[in-house]
Amino acid sequence: VTTIGSETEFINTLIGRFEPSPRRRNAPHEADAELIELFGGGLTGNTHLLAVTTDTISEEIETGLYRDPYQIGWMAVTASLSDLAAVGAAPLGLLISETLPEGYGSEAIEQLQEGISDGCRSARTHVLGGDTNTGQLLSITGTAIGLVYHRHRLTRRGCAPGDILYASGRLGRGNGFALAVFGNGRSGHFPGGYLPRARVREGLLLPGAATSCMDSSDGLFSTLAQLAALNRVGFRIAEAWEDALDRTSLEIVRSAGLPAWLLLAGCHGEFEQIFTVGESRRDSFTEKAGSIGWNPVEIGTVTEGPGVLLPVCGGTRNIDVAYLRNLSFRRSGGIGKYLDAILQYEHEMAKGE
């Protein structure tokens, strides 16, 4: 889970100065997981690349978004595995480093481990090892490790105008959950709970079929902004995009008088895979997906760009995804001001601006 902002950009600049590994087969930020050459001497004799990714769950705990220990454990696993799924990797397993507050109750500790365990089980993988520390604040780092065939390397880069844009499932559940937790006077109750399943099984079908892929952990608009910049393309969202939204979350925004596209704009994503498939491969891909009982959702097409076009407010608007993804509860000075900014943006779109 990556924060966006000037401080993070500064950190990324510094990290960009790290001497690059000669083993890494992807450019920085080009893939959700790093793709590493296992054995030296170029790719000859390397049938596989190692896929590795690390993710710390701390902000979501500090802000109060994740409170339930079981959910925290589950999310630590899911966030990392979702990054593996985005490169189509088969997991070898996870390392988990836990920092537990002194006096964190034994029941909470048990639930946390159960969430980790169940998160792994849902993706048919295992904890390989880890580290335990005590500290003032709860924090969990998951590191997922997997393998991909190097001939079918899948990254965020590779889509072209005309490709079809897919989501691995319905969108908006992450933002719906965040709204239930932080929203005006709400109880925090979110029907069905928020325990997204990492799309590992589905991800295995993507290499060779998809032209690019990225998970929606930071929300759809943020994901599209990054895919657009990396591929120098744009996106046209389909007319029927509201059909692709999670029903529970849609009800929450509607009953709060908020626009439905908030579910795509918010930065707490749903851990679906956002990927592109060439027109000519559509049928064979859909068939393959169907064979495992998976129905990916067509949400649009890749365009020459620039920009993300959304049919909304009676017209087609070029969404300022950079502006919207930089809005966040914290940076906006609280949920109230954030939602005011969203409503203001809706108002301007309605005026046709």
Q: Which residues bind a copy of itself (CB under 8 A)?
A: 1-3, 7-8, 10-12, 14-15, 17-24, 28, 33-34, 36, 38-39, 48, 50, 52-56, 58-59, 62, 92-93, 95-100, 102, 106, 109-110, 113, 116-117, 120-121, 125-137, 139, 141, 143, 145, 147
Least distance (Å) from a copy of itself to the CB of residue 241?
30
End-to-end CA distance of the chain: 32
> Is 1 or 322 the residue whose CB approaches a copy of itself more closely?
1
d(CA 187, CA 175): 16
> Is 25 or 236 the residue whose CB approaches a copy of itself more closely?
25
- Judge contact between 150 and 48, C-beta under 8 A: yes
> Is 24 or 282 the residue whose CB approaches a copy of itself more closely?
24
- Judge contact between 153 and 245, C-beta under 8 A: no
Least distance (Å) from a copy of itself to the CB of residue 210?
21
Which H or E element spans position 311? strand 308-312
> How many CB atoms are closer than 10 A to CB 152?
14
d(CA 207, CA 211): 8
Least distance (Å) from a copy of itself to the CB of residue 41?
13
Least distance (Å) from a copy of itself to the CB of residue 291?
22
Count helices and strands in the chain by DSSP H and E runs: 12, 12
> Is 81 or 100 the residue whose CB approaches a copy of itself more closely?
100
Displacement of CA 133 from its chain's centroid (Å):
28
> Is 113 or 256 the residue whose CB approaches a copy of itself more closely?
113
Least distance (Å) from a copy of itself to the CB of residue 57?
9
Using CA atoms, how far residue 272 sits from 167, 184, 275, in Å, is: 6, 27, 10
